Structure 1
Amino acid sequence: MKVNAFVQARMSSRRLPGKVLKPILNRPMLSFLIERLRKCELINNIIVVTSDEPSDQDIVNFCHQQNIAVFRGSLNNVLNRFTSALTNYPCDHIVRITADCPLIDPEVIDQVIQLHINGNYDYTNNCDTPSFPHGLDTEVIRADLLKSLEHHELKPSDREHVTLYVRNRREQFKLGILKNSSDLSDYRLTVDEIEDLTVITTILESLYISKPDFSYLDVVQFLEENKELKFLNAKYKRNEGLMFSLEQEKQS
């Protein structure tokens, strides 16, 4: 059984352009995510899935320099970008990770994959019922199911957000949810805003040198010891990108 991680990345972020390659500790932010993904025991290959827009050439250059597999496809039809990448990098299950989560936890990812496989689920995540910090979001989907989605009648939001069609049809698919033992969903470890970047930069500068394989629980402890940092980006809500897409769809 083959499991590939597809890392969704682009430079044209609406809220914080170029965020995935922002320098932290003299390294592009994306490099920390890749380093942590490589610690996953259940992932066979890591592929950065970016767009064919000229603005994303810097992502391609970074991947080539770091010997990371990369695939280019549609900017807005991300579902097609994924299914096209699947043709080049076939597998049985796809782990979808977004490139704005540099503190993703490899143990949590492996737990989601294990739950997915053991439960024989069509699709599994740890974020539909939030209990992990935002920024540890992990999705696993059967590759054949993902490929079949393009044959359905899809909204633009379904094409942009890849797994949305499945997530909205719980009665049609067998879905698994990994829940944390305690609710830590109020911690924000993703990068969408400039305050997020400040939080992530401070965490990495403080923890990475002495313990590069720190866990999300180490981060939680650090933020509890530095409450002003924890609250710096607390005003931002989860899934603002999705909410924006749905609102645009209503107005069109």
Structure 2
Amino acid sequence: MKTVIVIQARLGSSRLPCKTLLNLRGLPVIDWVVERCGRSELADDLVVALPDTRRDEVLARHLQARGVNIFRGSEQDVLSRMHGAAAAHGADLVVRVCADNPLIWGGEIDNLIRFYLRENAAGNCDYAYNHIPRNNLYPDGLGAEIVSFGLFTRALREATLPAHREHCLSYIVDNPDLFKIRTFDPLDPALHHPELKLDMDTADDFINLSLLDIRPDITPREIVALFRQTLTS
């Protein structure tokens, strides 16, 4: 069974344009994401799914120069683009990651994969997540989402609303009566901080991250300690 991390990236964000190539403590944000996802021990492959627009050509060239797999598809139909990337790399399980999560951690991706495999084998889970603090105690931005390629294909076939095509996997999340959706708390109690926002949606988020003494190999415990120190200072 092949598990593929598919990173959703583009340069056309309206709230923070070109954010994936912004310099965060000496490295482009996309490099943080790729490197930290690459620390997963259970994922077999990684690919970045980019729009096939002229604007995103610079991002594609940046990744190719670093030997990172890329797949290019529709800018608006993100569901189709992500599915195409997974299919091109022979995925049986798909781990979806957003490129605005520079502090994502490979170890938390592995915890997600283990959780999904255990719960799915027991018939309790179709889709699992730990990237947002919804019904769990995770900080926002450490984890990911996971589905089987078969369920991804079903979502591609059944999702017709524009919002479900643009917001990948939202068709599954918005239909809890059709799918078994599961999450869990961090295995390390020190990470039980759902109030912390580690992702990068806005310019303020980028500034806040840039002011922290972070490095590409910083651990989740160290991240939480830094953020808590900042909040209390």
Shared topology, TM-score over 0.5? Answer: yes
- The answer for the alignment partner of 1:225 in structure 2 is 229
State the alpha-carbon separation in 2 of the partners of residues 30 and 72 from structure 1: 16
Equivalent residue, structure 2, for 1:207: 214
SS at match of 1:91: coil
Query: Does structure 2 retain, via aligned residues, the 8 Å contact 1:91–1:143?
Result: yes
RMSD: 1.6
Q: 1:125 to 1:7 in 2, by over 3 A?
A: same
The DSSP-based 3-state class of the residue aligned with 1:134 is: coil
Pick the aligned partner of 2:160 from 132, 154, 169.
Answer: 154
Alignment of 1:96-175 (within 5 A): 96-120=96-120, 121-126=125-130, 127=132, 128-175=134-181
Superposed CA offset, 1:150-195 (max 9, x none): 2215211111111111112222222221223464111111111111
Query: SS in structure 1 opposite 2:96?
Result: strand
Q: Distance in 2 between matches of 1:129 and 1:31?
A: 30
Cα deviation for residue 202 of structure 1 reads 2.2
Give the distance between the partners of 2:93 and 2:157, measured in 1 at CA.
Answer: 19
Distance across 1 between alignment mates of 2:68 and 2:44: 13
| Equivalences, count | 224
CA offsets, 1:108-128, max 9 Å, x none?
A: 111011101111132110233
TM-score of the two chains, using structure 2 as the length reference: 0.90
What amino acid is the match of 1:29? V
Is the Cα contact below 8 Å between 1:122 and 1:175 reproduced in 2?
A: yes
Compute the displacement of 1:13 (Å). 0.4
Inter-partner Cα distance in structure 2 for 1:187 and 1:202: 16
TM-aligned CA deviation for residue 228 of structure 1: 6.8
Pick from 177, 180, 190 the counterpart of residue 183 of structure 2.
Answer: 177
**More displaced 10-residue stretch of structure 1: 128-137 or 21-30:** 128-137
Q: Confirm or deny: 8 A CA contact 1:30 1:102 kept in the other structure.
A: yes
Superposition pairs of residues 20-31 of structure 1, within 5 angstroms: 20-31=20-31
Contact 1:115–1:176 (CA under 8 A) maintained in structure 2: no
CA distance in 2: counterparts of 1:174 and 1:109, whole angstroms: 19
Cα distance per residue 1:17-58 (max 9 Å; x no partner): 000110123321110111111110111111000101111111
Percent identical pairs in the alignment equals 27
CA distance in 2, matches of 1:133, 1:65: 32
2-structure distance, mates of 1:184, 1:69? 33
**SS of the counterpart of 1:58?**
helix
Would the aligned equivalents of 2:159 and 2:165 in 1 still touch at CA under 8 Å?
A: no
Aligned counterparts of 1:175 and 1:53: Cα–Cα separation in 2:
34
CA contact (8 A) 2:25 2:214 kept: no
From the superposition, tell whether residues 153 and 222 of structure 1 become closer, same or farther in structure 2 (CA, over 3 Å).
closer
Match of 1:119, SS state, is helix
Give 1:38-53 correspondences, 5 Å limit.
Answer: 38-53=38-53
- Structure 1, unaligned runs of 5 or more: 230-252
CA deviation string 1:189-210 (max 9, x = no partner): 111111110122223xx132xx
Q: TM-score, normalised by structure 1?
A: 0.84
